[in-house]
Amino acid sequence: MVLEILFEDDYYIAINKPAGLLVHKTKLAKDEVPVFAMQLLRDQIGQWVYPLHRIDRPTSGVLLFAKSPEAAALLQPEFATTNIKKYYLTVVRGIPAEDHFIIDHPLKKDLDGALQDCKTEFWKLSETEIPFASTPKYPTSRYSLLKAYPHTGRMHQIRRHLAHARHYIIGDSSHGENKQNRFFREQFDSNNMLLHASKLIFIHPVCKAEITISAPIPDYFQKILLDIYLDL
């Protein structure tokens, strides 16, 4: 697998991570023998790389690495602040009432953990109603394309916030709706979660320039947009 490089200089390199690819080895994958984005990129460019953040395994999109521990130390702390902006695209069940809205429902760190403050901002980019019944209750089905900006960085924050609002992400097997996921598999041969890290913006710690890195959506994501008449 050859990774698509979106940005590279002497200090940092960004790729368009494919869905299904782990950033690096984790305890959850200890019984598997998969390849990892960090390993693939290291072999592709012939040098060690250091991940600055993570995106979920089923999520595609911008993933930024440092080329040295020193470069990582300069930028990694910024990911815990609002100085770095990460934007996502997602297809969800239903049509939100507002074109722009915020969800600030607190989330637990884990099943037994304390609630943590968190905030996600959303913009509705387009909406659709298609003549297919995803449930027996209604003769049509409605979906939306949203842009999301997480102000905080909790685990699965966008996925959990949208589940709380009952605008489930299509293809999300952990926080989504099984009947919607099954409908998309059967009607559109869609097996991927429709969540894509589309843009990352940061101030370069060395040259002090604002860097914007954008990742084109995967072909399967584009196909769904066409199949259900959603405009990007």
Nearest C-alpha neighbor of 91 from the set 150, 147, 18 = 147
Which DSSP string do the residues of 13-42 spell out, in sequence order? Answer: EEEEEPTT-BSS--GGGTT----BHHHHHH
What are the start-end ranges of the H helices in the chain?
Answer: 37-45, 69-75, 157-164, 178-188, 219-227
Rounded distance between C-alpha atoms, residue 33 and residue 37, angstroms:
13
Nearest C-alpha neighbor of 168 from the set 55, 91, 228, 56 = 91
Amino acid at the residue 122: F
Q: Which of 56, 99, 189, 231 is catalytic?
A: 56
Nearest C-alpha neighbor of 156 from the set 55, 226, 66 = 55
* Residue bearing tokens 């926080």: 175
Rounded distance between C-alpha atoms, residue 73 and residue 79, angstroms:
11
Verify whether residue 56 is a known catalytic residue. Answer: yes
Rounded distance between C-alpha atoms, residue 28 and residue 132, angstroms:
37
Number of H helices, E strands in the chain: 5, 12
The pair of structure tokens assigned to 110 is 């884990």
Active site residues: 56
